[in-house]
A and B are shown apart, each in its own frame.
Chain A
Amino acid sequence: MKGTYLGEFEELVLLTIGSLKDEAYGVSIKLDIEDRAGRVPSIGALHSALYRLEEKGFIKSREGGSTQVRGGRRKRFYTITAHGRQALTKSYNLRNELFKLVPGLKLNIK
């Protein structure tokens, strides 16, 4: 089972959800990724990732906030679960460790 495995795109989506706090839903996540990462994820791929993340228990969702442009349809807001935070931390640590092991790479913290 895939279980706790976190893919690269999924990690990006998960982090974005965290950064958007209470305003993370499909369109806002997509636009944020476009802004920050400079890549244009397709809406289908994004929702597919969200669906997987929720199945794995990294995020949970609630519905609400319908607007006129959505034709009165509700949004689905996502928030990171504790399990999700854990996975992010684990992934961060792993990267950090590996990063240090690569000679000649220096952290350039802004």
Chain B
Amino acid sequence: MSSPENKSLPPKWADRLLESFCSEEQLEILQGDIHELYAYRLTQMSRFKANLHYIKDVFDMLRPFAFKRKHTNYNYGPMFGNYFTIALRTFKRNRVPFLINLIGMSIALGCAITAFVNYQYNSDFDKQEKNAAKIYRIGFLQSTEKGMVPYGVTPIPVAELIRGTLRDGEEAIQYMAKDGQFRIGDEMFQKQVVYADPAFTRLFTFEKLSGSLSLDDKANVLISDELAITYFGTRDVVGKPLTQIIEGGRRELIVGGVFKKFPMNSSFRFDLLTSYDNYFPDPAQRSVIENNWSRWATTFLFLKDRTIADLLPKQLEQYITTQNEARPDLKINSFYVESFIGMSARAIKQRNQGHWMGGPMPPAAVIAPFVMAGMLLLVACFNFMNNAIVIAGTRIKEIGIRKVIGGRRKELIIQFLSETMIFCVISMIIALGLAEYFTAGWNSIWSGVEMSVTYSNNVFLIVSIVLLIIITGLLAGGYPAFYISAFKPISILRGTTRFAGAGMLTKSLLVLQFSISLAAVLFAISFYFNSKFQKEYDLGYAWRSVIQVGVRNEQQYEQLRNSLQTNPNIKAMAGTEHHIYSSSYKVAARFEHKVESEINVLNVSDEYFGAVDVRVIAGRNFRKDEASDINESIIVNEEFARKFGLGDDAIGKQIMFNDTIPMFITAVVKDVYLGALFEPLSPVAFRYAPAKDYKYLVVLTEPDQLLDVNDQIKTSWNKVFPDQLYPGRLMESRMMMALEHFDSVVILYSFLGAVTLIMSISGLYSLVALNLQKRTKELGIRKILGAPLRNLVYHSGKLFFVIMSISFVVGAVLGSVMVNALMDSVWEYYVAVNSKVVLIAIGILTLIAIVTVAFKIRSVVIGNPTDSLRHE
């Protein structure tokens, strides 16, 4: 390759570098000198060293005297001013497509900003904690059929056992979050209260607003500023009384201090904090509970380094047997210690069963907005490219003349790019406003999420916004700028430039736009069908007409029940220990040789099935207080019978619970979905619960009277138990929360579909218009020669049909795959995308597209051919 004389030449790239910055008048002399030096050095040292010296010499020339001087003095201010004016005029002349594009781009950018805000909210989770690197949490793993399930809690005795092994300055902190009932003045409310060891406020990062945040005095309660404002009306509340209603009485507490409420994106969301000692209502019982392996608490560790964190799981192994004897229903496999950093995010991701704190959004909810914003941005950019290329047809003379009078290509590119940038900046300004709405809308979809767009001190967001403008600008304007500036001035001015506005690229971009639109519409429609399907799905119980009221004991149950006896709107009532979707427990069951290790069991009364409308399909209901039913009868759901292969004659079969208790099936009920549609249908067994175990009063009414009846029960409750907060809940309210998310998703995707659709249609319209404009003469001649209407429509609409058909295939495939993947990751039971959904989506798109384009085609087809053929 290299000739011998090449061998004595210095590295080429260094020469090129020198040429790039060195002025012409200096270049020859300077380059000559360093070449000569190079040749001289080659006689003195190795080639490698000479090369290094040469490179050093080149960089040494980076001095003002050697630099290129600008030959022309641009008048930058007016130049860009004129670009701006030209841009505005172009926008004005093509008002409709640009306006549509502007709206689309703004919405896309607004979504992108929201996606960034959403990302930041979740990545900043627990950022307020300054000691995060030193804090750990102990948890344990339960081995189940589906693998290891983490629990972020520890048996209560563990904390005390660990304390001995800790070094100076290290702490084990117990933390217990429970719902509590409180009274301030005349106002009663229910709120989460946290019981924690004194080290909690010392070692975790709190912002003290007033008083002292010490947890040493068990007569004190610490409250958040938010709670203080809500219930006291002032932040100055230190020393004020607050009553907690506990089992068997009241506990008078005094506000010891006020802390600033933790931000919503933190693990801690409590408003009330008090001493861990207060967790034990009866101090005499404390030692019993502290040695009870079946009760759990969160245990944080504050450690100097990882040493103990690494040793602990091994040390704790010796207690696994003790623990498993105390809780045979939940066998521990091993203990683990995890860092506070990323703790809540892991808990959400791994579905930690004992995470008694808040958590960030699941990863899918962080990625989804980016996908949506990305899709919108792509469509908006494609649309802009199409518009710009089509519109360039009207600016071709401007470009030709600019070139003839000495405009260089670079300048034209800069001009067109700056036009795009202006467009992007305008879109961004609108987008900043839209982002506020989008973020508010996003907040409303999620419960317990409160994010806002803040610019102050937020380098990340500002950098993202600037990058977003630059990237969109280059993406949208890059190709048009190069394309437009490449025209040859001579052929432009001679009129021979064949303006290929509808080239392959424009067509492919349009196909992509339409595919994305179709996918979005597909999303909207299938989510709509799905939410309908799931709302109407027979879960096996009347979840839309049941009210559940928690009761403390049999006496309270009786009192409440008696007070409701006369209510005509109540169709049925029942007491029960467990309640569907609220509580249950698990046992291992065996039939002959077949073992199912996880059977959900609910202890219920004989009236329960009537009160939640669970239909008995075979056998008999429990008989009230009959000894054999209490001891050995179970009622199972169909899935139970299926799992054990019992077939139709399940009645009377013997099932062993935990290998020790023989049970006999007395009835089979319709399938009951304990975890609604989020979890697969599981085998369920019901046992008889005597009245002394009742935890709930369950009330059945009609769906349309649900709220009225709930109010009536509340009134009765307040009359009978004036001291206690009404604990009634609608059974549907917890499930509905999930269902409402579906509705929001439908709205979200309908919106996405509409925006992309409008942009695609506007792109299609201008493309078809351009295509027809170029072919008016052809169509005119066809018409004169007697082409029938059908033929004319075919020829003028061919392009349109081809584009639509390809888009439909691509979009339908793309959309179905994505929708199915998404739904499958969320639900166990859903309607997958089927031909009906696809057809509806295609129908909607075709209809809108045809209506838009037909108008244009019609004017050409029925137009007078002489108009198009007349010259001058």
Interface on A for B, CB 8 Å cutoff? 25-27, 30-31, 42-45, 47-48, 51-52, 63, 66-67, 69-71, 73-76
Contacts and interface: CB of A to CB of B under 8 A. Distances in A.
B29 A43 contact: no
A73 B9 CA distance: 14
B558 interface: no
B625 interface: no
Interface string B20-34: 000000101111111
9 contacts: A26-B33, A44-B61, A45-B63, A63-B29, A69-B39, A71-B9, A73-B29, A73-B31, A73-B32
Nearest to B62: A44
Nearest to B28: A73
Given A43-B57, A48-B65, A73-B28, 12 more contacts: A26-B30, A27-B37, A30-B37, A43-B33, A44-B63, A52-B65, A69-B36, A69-B39, A70-B33, A70-B35, A71-B32, A71-B35
B35 A45 contact: no
Q: How large is the interface on B (under 10, 10 to 19, 20 to 34, 35 or more residues)?
A: 20 to 34
Contacts of B26: 47
A52 B63 CA distance: 12
Given A26-B29, A27-B36, A75-B32, A42 B65 contact: no
Contacts of B9: 71
A67 to B, nearest CB: 7
Contact of A47 (B30, B39, B56): B30
Contacts of A69: 8, 35-36, 39-40
Contact of B40 (A27, A42, A45): A27
Identify the interface centre among A27, A63, A71: most chain B CB within 10 Å of its CB: A71
B320 interface: no
Nearest to B15: A71
Identify the interface centre among A27, A63, A66: most chain B CB within 10 Å of its CB: A27
A51 B33 contact: no
Given A27-B40, A51-B65, A69-B39, A45 B60 contact: yes
A47 B66 CA distance: 9
Given A27-B40, A42-B60, A69-B39, A47 B33 contact: yes
B32 A43 contact: no
A66 B34 contact: no
A30 B32 CA distance: 14
A45 to B, nearest CB: 7
B57 A42 contact: yes
A43 B35 contact: no
Identify the interface centre among A26, A45, A47, A63: most chain B CB within 10 Å of its CB: A47
Interface in B191-242: none
Given A51-B65, A69-B39, A44 B29 contact: no
A71 B31 CA distance: 9
A25 B33 CA distance: 9
Nearest to A66: B32
Interface in B559-600: none
A47 B40 contact: no
Contacts of A66: 32
Given A47-B66, A48-B63, A69-B39, A27 B57 contact: no
Identify the interface centre among A51, A73, A74: most chain B CB within 10 Å of its CB: A73
Nearest to B32: A73
Interface of B: 8-9, 26, 28-37, 39-40, 56-57, 60-63, 65-66
A74 B37 contact: no
Contact of A73 (B35, B39, B61, B63): B35
A66 B35 CA distance: 12
Given A63-B29, A75-B29, A43 B60 contact: yes
Contacts of B40: 27, 31, 69
Nearest to B37: A27
Contacts of B65: 47-48, 51-52
B511 to A, nearest CB: 54
A97 B40 CA distance: 42
B49 to A, nearest CB: 14
B37 A43 contact: yes
A92 B66 CA distance: 31
A59 to B, nearest CB: 14
Contact of B57 (A25, A44, A67): A44
A70 B62 CA distance: 20
Contacts of B39: 69
A70 B36 contact: yes
Nearest to A63: B29
Contacts of A67: 36
Contacts of B36: 27, 67, 69-70
A41 to B, nearest CB: 10
A51 B61 CA distance: 12
A71 B29 CA distance: 11
Contacts of A70: 32-33, 35-36
B174 to A, nearest CB: 70
B34 A43 contact: yes
Given A27-B40, A44-B57, A74 B62 contact: no
A47 B61 contact: yes
A84 to B, nearest CB: 18
Contacts of A48: 63, 65-66
Contacts of A75: 29, 32-33
Nearest to A54: B65
Closest 7 CB pairs of A and B: A73-B32, A44-B60, A26-B33, A69-B39, A70-B32, A51-B65, A76-B29
Nearest to A29: B33
A73 B63 CA distance: 21
Contacts of A30: 37
B18 to A, nearest CB: 11
Identify the interface centre among B8, B9, B32, B66: most chain A CB within 10 Å of its CB: B32
B28 A74 contact: yes
A99 B33 CA distance: 38
Contacts of B30: 26, 43, 47
Contacts of B56: 42
